């Protein structure tokens, strides 16, 4: 009975348009976007029917309508859907669609699905690809700096091809990975920080999942947050071809602080040697030959020696070693398709020259997104990315003495002794150091619409990459080349990964009250990393470089492979009641081979609620808020960021000479990397109970919008507590091992994030938007098992200690060392301070005897600084006036302590303590000082940077025939930095806060061109 | 929609779903562990090679051992920027945070862990000749004894570890009394002597004579420390019985074997191309070779001694102008010979003229090294004219024939045997015979002094001063040093105290 009824109903539905056709009229019109340009391929549906058309290439459409008043619905990706009432008799229409980038209708990509922004319950930030600064960037990571609240991007240095360090809501791991998970088009690629395979211009949007509710679906990889990158997809219609170019000229952004006068340097070095105990007759600059090289006297350098001519050399190393590098980027892309086939294809060539000569980075990337509708219910598609990079050379120093020439009389590189390997020109021209990488990333997928509300998606992802590093140090160019009498190497690394994801999605609304959305699925992932290294030492000559390592007298080989599997089940349920109360439950179970036999599976549940107050009548009646939403979430995420095999007992191997040759031994204790003194650190003790780190996080947020979302505010407060930290525990050395991986310890992060956006003016000719965001995070090491302090990072030979520590009650990486109280002025002062010997002499740094035992020794060290900023902030604004556009970004970091190892720059050395100049700021010259890590080196590294200024001009369509749009722009990056930091350096240093003078940053000015056909 | 789609996809889910539930066991690649090792004779040999390979590492005999044992004495000091730990040792004011002490402690126990692995695992290997097995297990005992002998002389009471580590519950271990440490050393060396063959082993590996020689040194340590009331040696019951044992075992080395012999020409003792290839004084060395790939395979110990100003050419025999000129390269001048030692040799002692470089030639110019400057005369014991860059073949001598001769002399006392042994060493050095009318203590003091010249820079002096209870007498009263801490035993490293719950300072 019911079946018959249903059949009848269907027939009626099918026939009804035919019935309506009888009284039709034709309406035509054009669709425009907010810049006034016409939009092709807009879907126009007659509401309540299946009758639909699309706008043509010129944005025009024609549709047949019934003669009475009707409603047309205009759909276009990235635009707000608009309903237009067409009154009886109306024949032509002009429809303006508004970009939904800032509106509530915007669809946001989340893990395994999408959701309307207004329905979000978790803390998710989103950024359009078009909002990224146009400046040379080998990876998109550094372009995220200052763009999203809660996302800290650290990009110290300007080495071509270098990535960035990304931290979402602080760091929460001691030894495991601290990098967020990077997901590209639904495929988890791995740690963020070096996304070189994706051309920033191909990016449609970037979503950042910050809280447990949004990240828990990535389970044991979600604790550091998740960054989702979505690339451009094709849309039906005529091909849209576009070309863009970016040509950039860069220059050093901070003037290096170098000796300007060789005589000043010589005086300083003589004084330092004399103070350091060198006999007066053996000082460096006395006009004597040392190791075959003539060292001039001070008088000679000054031109005051009556018997000698003025010293002829004054080498400007900065000029010889640095240049104004030129960089280029060209992208050609095409999007388009039909109702059934859609494609988006692009290719990019990128070349970045380094500031240092002979240093450059080249990249070729291409991408294809293709989707085919097989049946109305089945869509299949593929995404393919190919990337090739080549890097040559690296950084070079310019602090070499200007007293000596670059070349000797015979045209060879000048050396100050036969063990001098510091001539940067010799290094730049002599060393071979090239790295090539190839990456192939592919996805094939099928989406099956099982019913109107149930979908199944299966996808197969694979990733394959290879990198080869070629090095050759000729004999006599570098220390390594000298020691080995020619050192050549080839390092190979390749990885491969296979991932299969399968999940169901349910979208269903029951009446007008209940809407549900479910995702449930599973995945299995297999990863394999392989490496090998071939090293040859001692070559007959340098002719072949590393091309035939078999000719080396001594050869060594290493190789390794690590593999791990991850199996997962995951699910999410969204439930919306009355479109006011939103609930989300998420869970993932991860099984990883990396973990101990006792702990193979991990479970990560989370829950979130949100209340759309703006849908309540009592708020509606205020007529103030276009959005007012309160959000709360709580849940668990994990971190499995350790290498495979750490749970197993592993033997080490070593060689021993037994007269006729070396024999290889195996046994307990796996020597890891050597420490800085050449001493090995031994691990290899298994741990069957090793497991993931667990982060419990609470997020409370509010989304607020007024005046139809012209002014919006998003604020979040969060508390993250990470337990079971994966930690290399120091074990009693008498056990024969130094360390073992364990789960132990706790770190907390608390913070506030604020994002403010304003569309201040929204006119046809003039628009002005501005945004501010601010992030404040408080990090604290809560517990680390038996230890109250662990020293981490590099062991600095000059101060014979590590400087960064994890100390209970302090933020991660806090500096540990001595307090200082100016400069000792008299020996009595020095002795009274608890110092002895050379340390107590006038002119030395007065360290503080903190524990008051009368002696300054290692026990007087304490926490002397914190490299984590108090807060970071940024300001973005853009103005469009007719064809012109202008944008500005400021980025600031406030309240950060930098440990400035480079503090004693030449301009400060000139101000040193001497008996005649009793400085209270800078110590005397002394080349045998037992330096100590102290707050003498700590400098406030706060800064505010004019990160980017862009001025563009958009030509009118068809200014050149066939050119739909044409934009020319000038973009300046890293234009100026306001800071009180050491004048010779950029204040932005790595996560550990230590300034050792890395690859200098540049100021870049780019001329860009975008052409659309 | 089509119901078949449901069925197909559910089927797919089921299939892949089940396969994803497979075990998540790890199949490690390229890694060995107890489960897969110790199966064959080759594994046994490899196990003992691993145990030996700790010796020439940077933290042990290739640098660390010399820093620990030479700086506190009147032999060596260090360059200005050597770091606070070196200075603490040199100035006898060591603290538990001294990184050099931490290093040596760590390397000694790593050596013990590797030796334990041999002693415990090799006996169970089947299909291996008993002789080979015994030899290897004997070497394991020898190495363990050597490490503990170093430990007990450096630190005194230390944890005794004789098991391999299988579980973290084994980590806590308390200190054992000095007497117990010596019990293990002696029993290990007796096992080693019994198990090992008398035949000469490969370079850098021990044989029966090495065990006997070390045993002689151990007994002499016990005997002299008891006699001189050196701290913590009260437990030794009968010093004279210990002297007898020392004499017996030293006598076995001197009289009952010919693999290791007295070398008549001093520079030849230190000629790598001689001592590595013929019967020599080197009873047991930490072996290295300049063709190695990493430090520890080759040695950079040379650079610690050699002056750093310029490449140097010296005469092979400084007393013989007709001898060959050898190019010895250039070092770091890390160790500075102290005037106290340099000026302490008897007149005409060839060990000063032939085994300390006081003058060299560079580019035709003669340079004299001044004991008061920062570029001082340095030991010639660790030179390698065939060095490749910084890589040298200089073995680190652990037990040398002259050492055992002098052990024999000291144990024998002023007897004919004793005088013969010490005078053999003196006459090679160009010195006359020792005063034949010395009393027992005078004679032993004279032998210890002889050792200070004969074995200079070889890591014996500190132990000689400690066991004769003369740290204050020699270093403070004679040479004007100040001892603040660590005179007879160094403090146990802080890292051990912090991580071993049963360990008390």
Tell me the per-residue pLDDT of B63-82, one tens digit each, with 9 for 90 and over. 999 999 999 999 999 987 78
Token pair in block for residue A236: 């039906």
Contact yes or no for B289 and A657 at CB 8 A: yes
Parallel, antiparallel, or unpaired for β A938-940 and A897-900? Answer: antiparallel
The partner residue sitting opposite B9, judged by closest CB among A448, A563, A677, is A448
Closest alpha carbon to A586 in A240, A227, A209: A209
The reported pLDDT for the residue numbered B12 is: 52
pLDDT above 90 (res A786): no
Q: Hey, is B197 helix, strand or coil?
A: coil
Q: pLDDT tens across A949-965, in order?
A: 999 999 988 888 888 88
pLDDT for A795? 82
Q: Give Cβ neighbours of residue A511 (< 8 Å, ≥ 6 apart).
A: none
Residue A500 to residue B113, Cβ atoms within 8 A:
no
What is the four-CA torsion angle of B285, B290, B293, B296, rounded to 10 degrees? 30
Residue A799: the pLDDT is: 87
Given an 8 Å threshold on Cβ–Cβ distance, is A656 in contact with B330? no
| Mean per-residue pLDDT of chain A | 90
A294 belongs to a structural domain: yes
CA gap A216, B128 in Å, rounded: 56
C-alpha span between A208 and B470 (Å, rounded): 71
Contact state of B52 with A677 under an 8 Å Cβ cutoff: no
Please tell me whether residue A795 adopts helix, strand or coil conformation. strand
Contacts (Cβ under 8 Å, ≥6 apart) of A648: A686, B26, B28, B31, B33
**Which pLDDT belongs to residue A30?**
85
Write the pLDDT tens digit of every residue in A371-429. 999 999 999 999 999 999 999 999 999 999 999 999 998 999 999 887 789 999 999 99
Q: Which of A836, A838, A866 is nearest to A849 (CA)?
A: A836
The whole-number average pLDDT for the span A127-150 is 88
Distance CA B318, CA B380 (A): 10
Mean pLDDT of B30-51: 92
pLDDT tens-digit map of A56-68: 877 888 888 887 8
Domain B215-286+396-468: give its CATH code: 1.25.40.900
Closest to A363 in 3D by CA, of A385, A390, A327, A325: A390
CA-based nearest distance B455→chain A, Å = 24
Other Cβ atoms closer than 10 A to A576 = 21
**What's the whole-number mean pLDDT along residues A995-1010?**
92
Contact A422, A397 (CB under 8 A): yes
Query: Which tokens go with B39?
Result: 């199966």
Q: What are phi and psi of B355, to 5 degrees?
A: -110, 5
Q: What's the pLDDT at B97? A: 87
Q: How far apart are the first and last CA of chain A?
A: 58
CA distance A572 to A574: 7
Q: Which of B120, B227, B142, B228 is nearest to B186 (CA)?
A: B142
Of B97, B287, B292, the CB nearest to A658: B287
Q: What 8-state DSSP symbol labels residue B168?
A: G
Q: Contacts of residue B499 in chain A, CB cutoff 8 Å?
A: 730-733, 786
Q: What is the DSSP-derived secondary structure letter of residue B436? A: T
Q: Which residues of A touch B56 (CB under 8 A)?
A: 656-657
**Between B204, B309, B499, which is nearest A658 by CB?**
B204
Given an 8 Å threshold on Cβ–Cβ distance, is A740 in contact with B168? yes
| B9–A456 CB contact, under 8 Å | yes
Give the span between the Cα atoms of B449 and A552, in whole angstroms.
Answer: 49
Please give the average per-residue pLDDT across A765-793, as a whole number: 91
Query: Which residue, among A734, A799, A928, would best test binding to B if mutated, counting the most B CBs under 10 Å from its CB?
Result: A734
Report how far apart the first and last C-alpha atoms of chain B are (Å, whole number). 78
Task: Tell me the pLDDT band of B403, cut-offs 50, 70 and 90.
Answer: very high
* pLDDT class of A809 with cuts at 50, 70, 90: very high
Sheet with A82-86: strands ordered across: A52-54, A43-46, A70-75, A82-86
Give chain A's domain count. 2
Structure ipTM: 0.95
Tokens representing B233 are 């040696």
The nearest alpha carbon in chain B to A500 belongs to B16
> Minimal Cα–Cα distance from A67 to chain B, Å?
35
Contacts of B34 in chain A (CB under 8 A): 649, 651, 668
d(CA A743, CA A724): 4
Section B428-432 average pLDDT? 96
Q: Would A273 be classed as within a structural domain?
A: yes
Please tell me the distance from the alpha carbon of residue B329 to that of residue B316, in angstroms, as a whole number: 14
Q: Give CA–CA dist A670/A736, Å, rounded.
A: 10
To the nearest whole Å, the CA of B267 is away from the closest chain A CA by 21
A chain contacts of residue B171, beta-carbon cutoff 8 Å: 731-732, 735
Q: Given this model, what pLDDT does residue A103 score?
A: 62
Residue A76 to residue A49: CA distance in whole angstroms: 18
* CB contacts, 8 Å: A658 with chain B: 49, 202-205, 287
Residue A57: per-residue pLDDT: 74
When CB atoms are compared, the residue of B53, B117, B309 closest to A654 is B53
Return the structure tokens found at A383: 């995404």
- Please report which confidence band the pLDDT of residue A104 belongs to, taking 50, 70 and 90 as the band edges: low
Q: What is the pLDDT of residues A268-304, one digit of tens each?
A: 999 999 998 888 888 999 998 877 789 999 999 999 9
**Residue B387, C-beta contacts closer than 8 angstroms, at least 6 positions apart:** B290, B302, B328, B329, B393
- Please identify, among A332, A347, A376, the residue that sits at the C-terminal boundary of a domain: A376
pLDDT for residue A77 is more than 90: no
Backbone angles phi, psi at B275, to 5 degrees: -70, -20
The C-alpha angle A676, A678, A681, rounded to 5 degrees, equals: 85
Mean pLDDT over A229-238 rounds to 87
> How many angstroms away from the CA of B238 is the closest CA of chain A?
31
User: Does the structure show a pLDDT above 70 at A123?
Assistant: yes
Would you call A735 and B84 a contact, using CB atoms and an 8 Å cutoff?
Answer: no
pLDDT digits (tens, 9 = 90+) for B135-164: 999 999 999 999 999 999 999 999 999 999
B84: nearest CB among A417, A645, A800: A800
Cα–Cα distance, A846 to B280 (Å, whole number): 55
Widest distance between CA atoms in chain B: 116
Query: DSSP state, A658?
Result: -
Helix (H) or strand (E) holding B47: helix B41-53
How near does any CA of chain A get to the CA of B261, in Å? 18
What are the boundaries of each domain within chain B? 38-196+470-505, 215-286+396-468, 288-394
| Token representation of residue A285 | 């600059």
Query: What pLDDT was estimated at residue A838?
Result: 86
Q: Which pLDDT score is estimated for A2? A: 47
Q: How many CB pairs under 8 A join A and B?
A: 269
Q: Which of A657, A667, A736 sits opposite B203 (nearest CB)?
A: A657
Band of pLDDT at residue B503, cut at 50, 70 and 90: confident
Taking an 8 Å cut-off on Cβ atoms, the answer to whether B47 and A656 are in contact is no
- Is A664 inside a domain boundary? no
Query: Residue A10 CB: number of other CB atoms within 10 A?
Result: 10
What is the third-level CATH fold of B38-196+470-505? 1.25.40
Selected for mutation to probe chain A from B63, B81, B273 (highest A CB count within 10 Å) is B81
Distance CA A749, CA A702 (A): 20
A485 to chain B: which residues are within 8 Å by CB? Answer: 388-389
Rounded CA gap, A240 and A383, in Å?
A: 19
CA distance to partner chain B, nearest, from residue A448 (Å): 8
Alpha carbon of B121 to those of A133, A603, B180: distances in Å? 63, 41, 24
Helices B208-227, B178-195: axis angle to 10 degrees equals 150
Tally of residues, chain B: 505
pLDDT in tens, A466-480: 999 999 999 889 988
The encoded tokens of residue A780 equal 């604290």
- Please count the residues of chain A: 1013
Distance from CA of A568 to the nearest CA of B (A): 8
3-state secondary structure of B74: coil
* Tens-digit pLDDT profile for residues A719-764: 999 999 988 888 899 999 988 888 888 999 999 999 999 999 988 8
Find the mean pLDDT for residues A652-666.
Answer: 94
Contacts of B30 in chain A (CB under 8 A): 559-561
Q: Does A168 have pLDDT greater than 90? A: yes
Q: Is the pLDDT of residue A898 over 50?
A: yes
| C-alpha–C-alpha distance, residues B434 and B446, integer Å | 8
Task: Tell me which chain B residue has its CA closest to the CA of residue A530.
Answer: B29
Instruction: Give the distance, in angstroms, between the CA of residue B344 and the centroid of all CA atoms in the same chain.
Output: 25
* Burial annotation A993-1012 (CB, 10 A radius, 16+ → b, else e): bbbebbbbbbbbbbebebbe
Q: Quick one: tokens of A711?
A: 């002014």
pLDDT at position A960: 86
Within 8 A of B21 by CB-CB distance, chain A residues are: 567
* In the block, residue with structure tokens 């449609």: A204
Residue A50 Cα, gap to closest chain B Cα (Å): 19
Interface contact A663-B46, CB threshold 8 A? yes
State the pTM of this model.
Answer: 0.82
Structure tokens at A149: 């609240």
Q: Do A738 and B106 touch (CB under 8 A)?
A: yes
The pLDDT-based confidence of A640 (bands split at 50, 70, 90) is confident
Extended beta strands in A481-622, E state: 487-510, 514-537, 554-577, 581-592, 601-612
**CATH code of the domain in which A25 resides:** 2.60.40.10
Name the residue in chain A with its Cα closest to that of B275.
A659
Domain presence at residue A947: no
Q: Find chain B residues with C-beta within 8 A of A680's C-beta.
A: 57, 59
Examine the fold and report which residue of A79, A95, A111 is the final residue of a domain before the chain moves on: A95
| A144 close to A126: Cβ distance less than 8 angstroms | no
For B278, name the nearest residue in chain A, comparing CA atoms only.
A659
Residues of B in contact with A448 (CB under 8 A): 5, 9
Residue B27 — very low, low, confident or very high, per pLDDT cuts 50/70/90? confident
Is A76 part of any domain?
yes
Provide mean pLDDT across the span A196-218. Answer: 92
For residue A285, give its domain range. Answer: 235-376
Q: Which residue's entry shows tokens 């103030």?
A: A624
Task: Give every CB contact of residue A613 below 8 A, 6+ residues apart in sequence.
Answer: A619, A625, A628, A629, A630
Model confidence at A916: pLDDT above 50: yes
| Of B52, B58, B158, Cβ closest to residue A679 | B58
Q: For B187-221, how does the pLDDT look when each residue is reduced to its tens digit (9 = 90+)?
A: 999 999 999 999 999 999 999 999 999 999 999 99
Interchain proximity A737–B165, CB inside 8 Å? yes
Band of pLDDT at residue A861, cut at 50, 70 and 90 = very high
Which of A18-22, A159-163, A352-356, B447-451 is the least confident region? A18-22
Higher-confidence residue of A763 and B23: namely A763
End residue of a domain, out of A95, A125, A149 = A95
CA of B97 to nearest chain A CA: how many angstroms apart?
8
Cβ(B26)–Cβ(A645) below 8 Å: yes
Give me the DSSP letters along A494-513: EEEEEEEEEEEEEEEEETTT
| Ramachandran area for residue B81 (φ above 0: left; ψ -120 to 50: alpha; else beta) | alpha
If we measure between CA atoms, which residue out of A608, A753, A602 comes closest to residue A214?
A608
Q: How many CA atoms lie within 13 A of A215 on its CB side?
A: 35
Query: Residue B236: exposed, middle, or buried by beta-carbon count in 10 A (0-12, 13-18, 19+)?
Result: buried
Closest CA to A631 of A544, A702, A566: A702
Contacts of B16 in chain A (CB under 8 A): 500, 502, 522, 524
């Amino acid at each position: 009975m019911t079946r018959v009824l249903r059949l009848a109903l269907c027939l009626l539905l099918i026939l009804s348009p035919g019935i309506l056709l009888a009284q039709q009229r034709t309406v035509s019109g054009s669709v425009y976007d907010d810049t006034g340009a016409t939009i092709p391929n807009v879907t126009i549906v007659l509401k309540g029917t299946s009758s639909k058309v699309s706008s043509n290439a010129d944005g025009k459409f024609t549709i047949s309508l019934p003669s009475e008043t009707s409603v047309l619905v205009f759909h276009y990706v990235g635009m707000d859907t608009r309903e237009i009432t067409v009154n009886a008799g109306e024949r032509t229409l002009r429809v303006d669609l508004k970009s939904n980038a800032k509106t509530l209708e915007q669809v946001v990509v989340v893990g395994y699905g999408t959701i309307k922004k207004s329905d979000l319950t978790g803390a998710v930030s989103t950024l359009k690809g078009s909002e990224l600064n146009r400046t040379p960037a080998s990876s998109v990571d550094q372009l995220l700096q200052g763009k999203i609240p809660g996302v800290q991007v650290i990009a110290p240095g300007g080495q071509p091809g270098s990535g960035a360090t990304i931290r979402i809501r602080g760091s929460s791991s001691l030894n495991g990975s601290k990098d967020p998970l990077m997901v590209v088009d639904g495929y988890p690629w791995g740690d963020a920080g070096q996304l070189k395979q994706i051309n920033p211009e191909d990016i449609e949007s970037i979503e950042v999942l910050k809280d447990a509710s949004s990240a828990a679906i990535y389970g044991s990889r979600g604790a550091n947050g998740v960054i989702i990158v979505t690339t451009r997809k094709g849309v039906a219609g005529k091909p849209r071809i576009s070309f863009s170019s970016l040509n950039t000229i860069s220059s050093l952004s901070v003037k290096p602080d170098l000796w300007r006068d060789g005589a000043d340097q010589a005086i300083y070095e003589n004084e330092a040697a004399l103070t350091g105990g060198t006999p007066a007759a053996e000082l460096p600059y006395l006009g004597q030959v040392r190791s075959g090289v003539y060292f001039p006297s001070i008088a000679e350098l000054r031109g005051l020696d009556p018997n000698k001519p003025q010293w002829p050399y004054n080498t400007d190393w900065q000029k010889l070693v640095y240049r104004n590098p030129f960089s280029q980027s060209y992208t050609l892309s095409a999007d388009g398709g039909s109702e059934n086939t859609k494609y988006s294809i692009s290719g990019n060539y990128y070349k970045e020259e380094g500031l240092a000569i002979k240093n450059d980075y080249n990249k070729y990337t291409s991408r294809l997104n293709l989707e085919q509708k097989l049946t109305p219910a089945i869509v299949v598609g593929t995404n393919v990315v190919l990337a090739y990079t080549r890097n040559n050379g690296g950084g070079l120093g310019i602090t070499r003495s200007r007293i000596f020439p670059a070349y000797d009389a015979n045209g060879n590189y000048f050396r100050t002794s036969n063990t001098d390997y510091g001539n940067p020109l010799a290094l730049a021209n002599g060393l071979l150091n090239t790295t090539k990488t190839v990456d192939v990333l592919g996805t094939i997928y099928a989406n099956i619409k099982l019913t109107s509300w149930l979908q199944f998606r299966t996808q197969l992802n694979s990733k394959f990459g290879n990198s080869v590093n070629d090095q050759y140090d000729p004999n006599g160019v570098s220390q390594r080349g000298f020691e080995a009498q020619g050192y050549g190497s080839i390092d190979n690394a390749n990885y491969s990964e296979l991932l299969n994801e399968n999940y169901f999605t349910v979208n269903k609304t029951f009446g007008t009250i209940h809407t549900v959305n479910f995702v449930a699925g599973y995945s299995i992932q297999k990863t394999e990393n392989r490496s090998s290294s071939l090293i040859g030492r001692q070559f007959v000559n340098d002719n072949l470089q590393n091309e035939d390592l078999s000719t080396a007298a001594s050869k060594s080989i290493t190789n390794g492979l690590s593999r791990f599997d991850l199996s997962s089940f995951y699910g999410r349920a969204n439930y919306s009641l009355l479109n006011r109360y939103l609930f989300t439950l998420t869970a993932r179970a991860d099984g990883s081979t990396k973990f101990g036999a006792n702990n193979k599976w991990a479970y990560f549940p989370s829950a979130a609620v949100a209340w759309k107050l703006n849908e309540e009548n009592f708020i509606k009646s205020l007529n103030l808020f276009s959005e007012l939403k309160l959000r709360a979430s709580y849940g668990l995420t994990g971190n499995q960021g350790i290498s495979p095999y750490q749970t197993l007992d592993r033997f080490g191997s070593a060689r021993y000479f037994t007269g006729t040759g070396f024999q290889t031994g195996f046994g307990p204790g796996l020597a890891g990397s050597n420490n800085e003194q050449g001493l090995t650190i031994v691990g290899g003790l298994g741990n069957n109970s090793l497991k993931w780190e667990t982060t419990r996080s609470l997020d409370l947020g509010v989304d607020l919008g007024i005046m139809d979302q012209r002014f919006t505010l998003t604020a979040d407060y969060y508390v993250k507590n990470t337990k079971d930290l994966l930690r290399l525990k120091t074990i009693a050395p008498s056990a024969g091992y130094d360390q073992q991986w364990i789960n132990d310890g706790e770190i907390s992060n608390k913070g506030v994030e604020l994002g403010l956006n304003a569309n201040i003016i929204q006119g046809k000719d003039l628009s002005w938007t501005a945004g501010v965001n601010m992030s404040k995070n408080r990090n604290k090491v809560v517990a680390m098992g038996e230890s109250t302090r662990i020293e981490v990072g590099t062991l600095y030979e000059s101060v014979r200690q590590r400087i960064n520590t994890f100390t209970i009650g302090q933020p991660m990486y806090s500096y540990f060392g001595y307090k200082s109280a100016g400069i000792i002025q008299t020996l009595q002062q020095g002795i009274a301070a608890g110092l002895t010997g050379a340390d107590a002499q006038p002119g030395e740094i007065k360290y503080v005897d903190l524990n008051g035992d009368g002696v300054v020794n290692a026990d007087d060290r304490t926490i002397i600084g914190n490299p984590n900023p108090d807060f970071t902030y940024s300001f973005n604004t853009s103005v469009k006036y007719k064809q012109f556009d202008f944008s500005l970004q400021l980025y600031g970091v406030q309240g950060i302590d930098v440990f400035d190892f480079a503090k004693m720059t030449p301009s400060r050395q000139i101000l040193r303590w001497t008996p005649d100049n009793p400085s209270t700021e800078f110590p005397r010259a002394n080349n045998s000082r037992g330096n100590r890590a102290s707050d003498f080196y700590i400098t406030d590294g706060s800064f505010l940077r004019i990160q980017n200024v862009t001025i563009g001009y958009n030509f009118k369509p068809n200014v050149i025939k066939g050119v739909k749009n044409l934009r020319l722009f000038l973009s300046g990056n890293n234009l100026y930095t306001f800071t009180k930091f050491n004048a010779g350096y950029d204040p932005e240093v790595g996560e550990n806060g230590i300034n050792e003078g890395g690859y200098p940053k540049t100021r870049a000015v780019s001329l860009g061109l975008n052409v659309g056909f | 929609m089509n119901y078949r789609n449901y069925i197909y996809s559910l089927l797919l889910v089921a299939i892949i779903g089940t396969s994803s539930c497979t075990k998540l066991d790890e199949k490690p690649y390229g890694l060995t562990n107890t489960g897969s090792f110790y199966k064959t004779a080759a594994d046994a040999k490899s196990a003992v090679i691993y145990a030996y390979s700790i010796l020439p590492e940077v933290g042990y005999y290739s640098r660390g051992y010399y820093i620990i044992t030479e700086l506190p004495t009147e032999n060596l000091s260090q360059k200005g920027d050597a770091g606070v730990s070196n200075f603490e040792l040199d100035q006898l004011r060591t603290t538990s945070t001294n990184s050099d002490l931490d290093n040596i402690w760590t390397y000694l126990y790593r050596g013990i862990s590797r030796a334990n692995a041999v002693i415990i695992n090799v006996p169970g290997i089947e299909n291996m000749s008993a002789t080979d097995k015994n030899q290897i297990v004997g070497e394991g005992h020898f190495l363990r004894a050597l490490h503990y002998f170093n430990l007990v002389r450096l630190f005194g009471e230390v944890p005794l570890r004789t098991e391999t580590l299988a579980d973290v519950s084994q980590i806590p271990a308390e200190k054992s009394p000095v007497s117990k440490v010596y019990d293990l050393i002696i029993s290990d060396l007796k096992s080693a002597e019994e198990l090992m063959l008398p035949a000469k082993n490969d370079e850098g590996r021990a044989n029966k004579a090495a065990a006997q020689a070390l045993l002689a040194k151990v007994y002499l340590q016990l005997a002299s420390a008891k006699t001189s009331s050196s701290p913590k040696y009260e437990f030794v019951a009968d010093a004279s019985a210990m002297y007898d044992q020392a004499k017996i075992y030293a006598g076995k080395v001197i009289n009952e074997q010919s693999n290791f012999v007295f070398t008549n020409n001093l520079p030849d003792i230190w000629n790598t191309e001689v001592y590595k290839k013929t019967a020599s004084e080197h009873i047991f060395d930490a072996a290295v070779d300049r063709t190695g790939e990493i430090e520890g395979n080759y040695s950079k110990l040379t650079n610690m001694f050699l002056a750093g100003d310029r490449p140097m050419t010296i005469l092979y025999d400084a007393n013989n102008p007709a001898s060959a000129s050898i190019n010895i390269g250039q070092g770091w001048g890390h160790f500075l010979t102290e005037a106290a030692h340099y000026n302490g040799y008897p007149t005409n002692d060839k060990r000063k003229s032939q085994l300390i470089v006081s003058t060299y030639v560079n580019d035709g110019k003669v340079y004299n090294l001044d004991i008061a400057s920062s570029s001082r005369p340095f030991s010639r014991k660790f030179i390698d004219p065939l060095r490749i860059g910084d890589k040298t073949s200089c073995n680190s001598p652990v037990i040398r024939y002259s050492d055992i001769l002098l052990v024999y002399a000291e144990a024998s006392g002023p007897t004919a045997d004793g005088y013969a042994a010490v005078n053999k060493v003196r006459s090679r050095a160009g010195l006359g015979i020792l005063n034949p009318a010395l009393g027992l203590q005078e004679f032993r003091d004279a032998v210890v002094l002889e050792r200070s010249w004969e074995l200079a820079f070889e890591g014996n002096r500190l132990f000689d001063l400690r066991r004769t209870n003369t740290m204050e007498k020699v270093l403070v009263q004679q040479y004007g040093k100040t001892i603040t801490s660590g005179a007879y035993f160094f403090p146990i490293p802080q890292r051990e105290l912090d991580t071993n719950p049963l360990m008390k300072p």
